[in-house]
Structure 1
Amino acid sequence: MISLTERAAELLVADTAFAPSRPGFVGVAVDLLLAHPGLPGPFTGSLVAERPRLRHGFLTARSARVAVVSGPPSPGIDVAIARMAEDLPLPLPLLGGQGVTVLEEASDDVDPAVAGPSPAWGTAGVRVALEAGLDEDGLLGLRRRWALAHALAPVLAAAFANSPLRRGRPTGWRSNRQALRRLRPCTADPRADWTALVMDAQVAATGRTLRQWTRSGPAVRPGIADLTRHLRGVRPPVAARRHLEIDVADRQPGAGWRIPVAVTAALLDDPRAAVQALTATEPLRTIPGLWERAARDGLSDPHLAAAAKLCFLAAYESLARQGVSRDLRDAVAAFVERYVMRGRCPADDVLERATAPHRL
């Protein structure tokens, strides 16, 4: 087995980070949070290894508690959403046959006050996959898109926060899922950013980072298979998977998963909307602790709320220009009216229901 030195690992991560391509294709992955105790170990392993096909995408598992419906790269927002809508119900009989129930919540027992395994293993989100962009500095360039994804991440995380409870009680965070995560600052070099993040991330069940592991002796350094497993387990809000992976939205109620897909794709892939989003998020650059504020306060934070209003209006205008289906545009408009324009997020509804019996 080939063992990787620190430099070899860095070069390999950087080289495989992005596959530059013109924006246009959209991918979606929706997590399904499963009731305790989750799937049996052997069945979880088979989902990971075999990834059974659905009508368009496939089913896999992040852990015994989280199944994932993953859609294929699709030509545009409408097609990506239509394919996911067809695939989402298909795993339910299979999961039900294992005696587990799919929960509506984005999390149920994650404790944001206790550092532990990656929250991706016990929480549910909606991930959007977009093309990396061209290897240039223009509006469709990789560097511009990487920077915009990082600028938008706290705004979208705040707007789509929907995991405020632990075992039925408020934790003080709008998103327990995001509370245990961190958004690293980005630079003008996306490959260097991603490489540093991967190298400095803890390797599962080892208590050390990949960088520390590569500095071990030749006989115990990681191999390529170890690096591949590590990359699968690194789950930051913005990731390089050869494409861009935007993982900032908690699972939304009902068919609400469509909203983060539409808004994220519109703001990143439409050049006009991208310029508006960059302008809207510019005032946030100097605000400290922005990711933590997004996870804790949602859109009750006035700075995030102001940026969200501009971004969501830009996204809606983009969807209209693109001729996206009226049903989807209406759903986005309803979300904007119910939450964004009022400085609220879906977590606020959850908190009101959870605390209603205790009101005087």
Structure 2
Amino acid sequence: MVMSPELDRGTVLGDEAAARGHLARICFKTGPPTLTGVELEWTVHDAADPARPVDRERLRGALGRHRPVTLDPTSPADELRHGGAVTVEPGGQVEISAPPRPSVAALLAATEADVAELRALLDAAGLVLGPSGMDPWRPPRPVVETPRYRAMRGVFDRHGPAGRTMMYSTAGLQVCLDAGEPDQVAQRWAAAHAVGPPLLAAFATADRQAGRRTGWASARMAAWLAIEPARTRPVWSPGRADRDPAAAWADYALAAPLLCVRGDGPDWAPPEGVTFADWLAGALPRPPTTDDLEYHVSTLFPPVRPRGYLELRYLDAQPGREWTVPVAVLAALFADPATTRDALAAATPVADRWHAAARHGPAERALATVAATLFDLALAALPGLGLPAGRHDQTHRAIRRRRAAAERGHR
């Protein structure tokens, strides 16, 4: 696809060709794959009674100068000491977005320090971070209200209760990888999707909600998949493997219904069923701009989302320091083209088994077998990450434990 010329964020998009060009330019930035990033999200609980609701004011006080403007418009929203930005999601989940780094070792060390700082802030307020990808103690409940979140809830309510579960009760782990050189993008895009189901299964932690077993290994992913297929289904699948990534993403983004239309007032609810392509065709009173398109893309939630880099969104939050393991596994699988090629080949047979992964986790034999193969590939590639000796040995042991658990899961 030919990319459009540089456009100002407020440029009016006259037609689909302009929109497609802009998406290609901003969503698939190519170059040597050197950076790795991570976003960590947790539910937040009262330390003495984890089932007790935690309200907005308590979070605001606990986070101090790091509180986001969604909690306090006057906040400086300072980053944590090592650069992590703190945000708070609609159900009061707290997230750290770590700046990407060229060294995985530096990313892990800096992010661990920021997590420790966040834990100390919460501890002083009698709060703790949750251990899993789903709130195991409380039912869904709003904590933060914004025009975006109100519009989101209204759209998701048309499809049932899963939207509120996702908004208020789930916590994920996102790994961010470069798209790569132009001749690598298609393979990295495909592999980022294909390894999703087996790694989702292997790292599933969200089997309980509101004090009960859910019947899902990852009720978090089950909620995402049940919301609105046009917004949450995977962009790539083995049956569409020959599609150009930028063209496939543009098709997806333009066909997705609007989640909200920003305005000066509190009501951002969109007209029902209007897609971005419809907006380009004149469905709303004013034409969309590049800024509107970029905002629309932020309301799409597929398992892998291109944002200039590839954002892998399918993993559950992990307990304690265990978040470092899937980050290291994915960094190792994408550290060199040969390993990425082998990971894609191993995972393609199960690449469309998202629901099975969410439902059964490693109890699904095919998924567990592929996960074990991916762990073997990660172990072989791990020395290439250049981790310090102690970190390397610790990570090596952790991946081997995960591999053994995957094998046990399907017996």
Instruction: Tell me the TM-score range normalised by the shorter chain.
Output: 0.7 to 0.9
**What residue in structure 2 maps to residue 45 of structure 1?**
69
CA contact (8 A) 2:134 2:220 kept: yes
**What residue in structure 2 maps to residue 135 of structure 1?**
182
What fraction of aligned residue pairs are identical, expressed as a percent?
31
Query: Could you report, residue by residue, the CA deviation over 1:88-141 in whole angstroms, capped at 9, with x for unpaired residues?
Result: 1223455567775432232114699833258266421111111110012xxxx1
In the TM superposition, 1:90-129 aligns within 5 A as 90-92=117-119, 94=121, 101-108=128-135, 109=139, 114-117=161-164, 119=166, 122-129=169-176
Task: Tell me, in whole angstroms, the C-alpha distance in 1 between the residues paired with 2:313 and 2:68.
Answer: 22
CA contact (8 A) 2:36 2:103 kept: yes
In the TM superposition, 1:286-301 aligns within 5 A as 290-301=353-364
**What residue in structure 2 maps to residue 354 of structure 1?**
none
Q: Secondary structure at the match of 1:343?
A: helix
**What residue in structure 1 maps to residue 315 of structure 2?**
249
1:77 aligns with 2:104: yes
Greater Cα shift, 234-243 or 64-73: 64-73
**What residue in structure 1 maps to residue 387 of structure 2?**
324
Q: 2:82 aligns with which of 28, 53, 56?
A: 56
Task: Extract unaligned runs of 5+ from structure 2.
Answer: 1-9, 46-52, 61-66, 142-158, 226-232, 260-268
**What residue in structure 2 maps to residue 171 of structure 1?**
214
Could you say if the C-alpha distance between residues 47 and 14 of structure 1 is closer, same or farther in structure 2, counting changes exceeding 3 Å? Answer: farther
Could you say if the C-alpha distance between residues 281 and 48 of structure 1 is closer, same or farther in structure 2, counting changes exceeding 3 Å? Answer: farther
Could you say if the C-alpha distance between residues 46 and 282 of structure 1 is closer, same or farther in structure 2, counting changes exceeding 3 Å? Answer: closer
1:197 aligns with 2:256: no
Task: Tell me, in whole angstroms, the C-alpha distance in 1 between the residues paired with 2:344 and 2:369.
Answer: 13
Task: Tell me, in whole angstroms, the C-alpha distance in 1 between the residues paired with 2:404 and 2:382.
Answer: 18
Count of aligned residue pairs for this structure pair: 339
CA contact (8 A) 1:174 1:295 kept: yes
Q: Secondary structure at the match of 1:52?
A: coil
Q: 1:86 aligns with which of 83, 88, 113?
A: 113
CA contact (8 A) 1:20 1:135 kept: yes
Q: Secondary structure at the match of 1:91?
A: helix
In the TM superposition, 1:130-279 aligns within 5 A as 130-136=177-183, 141-179=184-222, 180-181=224-225, 182-186=233-237, 187=241, 188-204=243-259, 205-206=269-270, 207-208=272-273, 209-217=275-283, 219-279=285-345
Task: Tell me, in whole angstroms, the C-alpha distance in 2 between the residues paired with 1:148 and 1:246.
Answer: 11
Query: Could you report, residue by residue, the CA deviation over 1:265-309 in whole angstroms, capped at 9, with x for unpaired residues?
Result: 110122332232123113335xxx501011111111111111111
TM-score where L is the length of structure 1: 0.82
Task: Extract unaligned runs of 5+ from structure 1.
Answer: 349-360
Query: Could you report, residue by residue, the CA deviation over 1:139-194 in whole angstroms, capped at 9, with x for unpaired residues?
Result: xx111110111111111111111111111211111111111233233443111122
1:9 aligns with 2:26: no
TM-score where L is the length of structure 2: 0.73
CA contact (8 A) 2:177 2:311 kept: yes
**What residue in structure 1 maps to residue 95 of structure 2?**
68
Task: Tell me, in whole angstroms, the C-alpha distance in 2 between the residues paired with 1:251 and 1:297.
Answer: 17
Q: CA deviation at 1:329?
A: 3.6
One-letter code aligned to 2:296: H
Task: Tell me, in whole angstroms, the C-alpha distance in 1 between the residues paired with 2:167 and 2:247.
Answer: 24
Please tell me the root mean square deviation across aligned C-alpha atoms, in Å. 3.1
